[in-house]
Structure 1
Amino acid sequence: MLRKMLFCLYTGLMLGANMAQADVVAAQAVLAGDMRKLAFHDAAKPLPDMGMQDLDGADRSLAEWGGRWVVLNFWATWCAPCRHEMPSLERLAASSAESGVDVVTVATGRNPPPAVKRFFAEIGVENLPVLLDPKSKLARQMGVFGLPLTVILNPEGEEVARLIGDAEWDSADVRAMLAALTQD
């Protein structure tokens, strides 16, 4: 099992830009803690080109984050694990933007903007971008069948890994995994 996980890890690491030199220490960190749930794909998966809106009704697209690594989190206001993990996503966003990693959230399903704003206010989250997927079109096309679900996008905008369930996104394990992905 460990051999298969390491194979998948190294295959996934080789898919992204600037990842050929990922070392064993970073690989072990990826396999620790919540990152044990992170599954790297054998090949990068292109994302559907789908327009969405932000909380102010402005048209937005995931293409806006092209050229950067993205931690893309699918969630909903009714999701208790989402409520638990969202503050750690904000802390990750605050600490990783300079290293070329952005955090983007997608409220999928019926999450009207006032409910999203209230949810964020209740949990003290102020600075995460929110895209709305009100009819779950993007979520369905990406095979999101439960929440929360987080995907890692490479700078080309392709999905390279997926984590089902919640995680502490500002942990040392996550930072080590992201450092391995973004190293020069």
Structure 2
Amino acid sequence: MKTHLKALATTIGVFVTLIALYQTLIANKQNQSLAPTPAVNRDLFLPEGELITLSGARINLHSFPGKVIIFNFWASWCTPCIEEVPSLVSLVKEDPNIVIIAVSGDQNKDDINAFLKSFPGFNKPPIYVVQENAKVLMDQFKVDKLPESFIFNPKGEMVKKISGTINWHTPDSIEYFKVIRAK
């Protein structure tokens, strides 16, 4: 009998600990925002040269004057990446002064295309899906997890790095982008 009670107490203790850990992780995820913070790395500027989109179009990042550019590193198999796609699409619909370079970590273009069928707005300007040279870009930005995003002001300076999922389309985020455009 004592053995069963001990096992039950241990099980309950582990269960309560897991619930507390889960609640902490959820709270941290929900509290992440685009609140103004000091620049992460003013030495990181927009990459030079052209990027080739999934559709084969060539884009020069310096051809978006006055725009905020978000580099969003994602993959079709990444559940947190999938969670934030609708809010990214909504963000650019509301604010035409934002461009998203969506760099896919997928190895296979068929996987990306299948994903885009579920989110057709995720591959229409001002969102550009890039897969070619994704590894080079991930190394350049030192991406070590997905999703990870880097926000650049209109001068091409990185002003914020975001690791993990956030809701991009909130009144606070709209205001944040207006502020960094005005600086």
TM above 0.5: yes
- Which of residues 109, 115, 128 in structure 1 aligns to 2:111? 115
Match of 1:104 in 2: 101
Match of 2:53 in 1: 54
Q: Does 1:125 align with 2:124?
A: no
Q: Does 1:35 align with 2:72?
A: no
Match of 2:136 in 1: 137
Larger RCO (CA within 8 A; separation ≥ 6):
1
Distance between the aligned counterparts of 1:39 and 1:161, measured in 2? 7
Structure 1, unmatched stretches of 5+, are 1-31
Structure 2, unmatched stretches of 5+, are 1-29
Distance between the aligned counterparts of 2:111 and 2:60, measured in 1? 21
Secondary structure (helix, strand or coil) at the match of 1:46 reads coil
Letter of the 2:48 counterpart:
D
Match of 2:11 in 1: none
Aligned pair count reads 150
Distance between the aligned counterparts of 2:121 and 2:137, measured in 1? 24
Give the Å deviation of 1:52: 2.7
Give the Å deviation of 1:38: 7.5
The 1:117–1:42 alpha-carbon spacing in structure 2 relative to 1, beyond 3 Å, is closer
Give the Å deviation of 1:178: 1.3
Give the Å deviation of 1:181: 1.5
The 1:173–1:111 alpha-carbon spacing in structure 2 relative to 1, beyond 3 Å, is farther
Give the Å deviation of 1:79: 0.9
The 1:160–1:93 alpha-carbon spacing in structure 2 relative to 1, beyond 3 Å, is same
- Sequence identity, in percent? 25
Distance between the aligned counterparts of 1:125 and 1:47, measured in 2? 24
**TM-score, structure 2 normalization:** 0.70
The 1:38–1:145 alpha-carbon spacing in structure 2 relative to 1, beyond 3 Å, is farther
* Aligned counterparts, 1:126-165, within 5 A: 126=122, 127=124, 128-165=127-164
Letter of the 1:61 counterpart:
N
**TM-score, structure 1 normalization:** 0.69
Poorly superposed stretches of 4+, deviation over 6 Å: none
Distance between the aligned counterparts of 2:145 and 2:49, measured in 1? 20
The 1:115–1:66 alpha-carbon spacing in structure 2 relative to 1, beyond 3 Å, is farther
Query: Larger Cα Rg: Structure 1 or Structure 2?
Result: 2
Give the Å deviation of 1:111: 4.1
Distance between the aligned counterparts of 2:50 and 2:157, measured in 1? 16
Whether the aligned pair in 1 keeps the contact of 2:47 and 2:61 (CA below 8 Å) is: no
Match of 2:167 in 1: 168
